[in-house]
Amino acid sequence: MTEVEMPEAEDSQERPGITLARGVCRLLRSHGFAPLTEYVPVPGLRVDVMALGPKGEIWVVECKSCRADFTSDRKWAGYLDWCDRYFWAVDEAFPQDLLPEDTGLIMADAWGGEILRMPPEHRLAGARRSAVTRGFARAAALSLQRLREG
C-alpha cells in the first residue's frame, strides 16, 4: 500500500555527458532499442542510458564528456554485471585511447551518434535478465506517469 518511491532525477544541466545521452537515445532507437536514461539497477549504481532490444537484449551506455569525467569514474566496471553489452559514448574531442578495448564505443553529439565499435556480448543469466527487465519496465512507466501528471 506504500507509494512507490523513485529517486529524484538530478538537474540534467549539471551532469556532464547529458547532451551526449540525448544523441545516444536517438541512435539506440534507430537500432530498434528502447532507451531509458538515469536508470538505477541496484542502489548506488546509476547508468546514463540503459536500452532494451527487440529480443530482450540489454545494453548499457555510459556517456563521458571529457578525460576527467572518465578517470574519476570508479563505478563503471560494476555496470558490466547488468547488461549484455557495454558501451562508452564520447564526443569527437575525447581521447579514445583511454577506453578499454573490449568495451563498445559510440561517437555521439546532442543530435545523434554512431556505433564505432561493437563490444563482445556477455549474456546475463535468466534470473538477472528478468529482474533488470522488470525494474526497467517499472522505472520507465513510473517516469512516464510522473511526466504526464505534471
Q: Which stretch binds a second copy (CB under 8 A): 47-55, 61-69, 78-86, 94-102?
A: 47-55
Q: Looking at beta carbons only, is 93 or 147 nearer to a second copy?
A: 147
DSSP string, 98-135: GS-TTSEEEEE-SS-EEEEEPPPP-PPPHHHHHHHHHH
The Cα–Cα gap between 63 and 105 comes to 10
Q: Does residue 7 interact with a second copy by CB under 8 A?
A: no
Provide the β-strand partners of residue 63: 89
Instruction: Compute the radius of gyration of the chain from its Cα atoms.
Output: 15
Cβ atoms of 106 and 86 within 8 Å: the answer is: no
Please select the residue that binds a second copy; options are 16, 34, 81, 117, rule is CB under 8 A: 34
Could you say which residues in the range 50-79 bind a second copy, by CB under 8 A?
51-52, 54, 56
The Cα–Cα gap between 38 and 61 comes to 11
Q: Does residue 122 interact with a second copy by CB under 8 A?
A: no
Please select the residue that binds a second copy; options are 7, 10, 29, 98, rule is CB under 8 A: 29
Q: Which stretch binds a second copy (CB under 8 A): 31-39, 79-87, 89-97, 104-112?
A: 31-39
Residues that bind a second copy (CB under 8 A): 1-4, 25, 29-36, 51-52, 54, 56, 130, 133-134, 136-145, 147-148
